[in-house]
Structure 1
């Protein structure tokens, strides 16, 4: 169970980071122009979305049903 929980956290954080990089690449901008606050919001929202689904798929029960 502990290994699955670590996987959920690491994959969620990685997915959030990849989404930030994809947004920067998609809009052909830099982090200075995109604003660190916006990058943080993209990171948190995409990371949270993937966290919810990974919690469901791996049955780690972080989010109780």
Structure 2
């Protein structure tokens, strides 16, 4: 069970994560296949897995 005081923080972190994901997607539309953007997307994926509690899953790589 998540303590009541922590819930707003987690909610804000999830909102920030989703907004950063949107920014990353838009940047990929402007400049696809950029190494820097791929690194950002991988970092966002790792953060997302941590936030939703599935950080034990291996990272997925696009082929």
Q: Smaller-chain TM-score range?
A: 0.3 to 0.5
**Larger relative contact order (Cα-Cα within 8 Å, sequence gap ≥ 6):** 1
TM-score, scaled relative to structure 2: 0.44
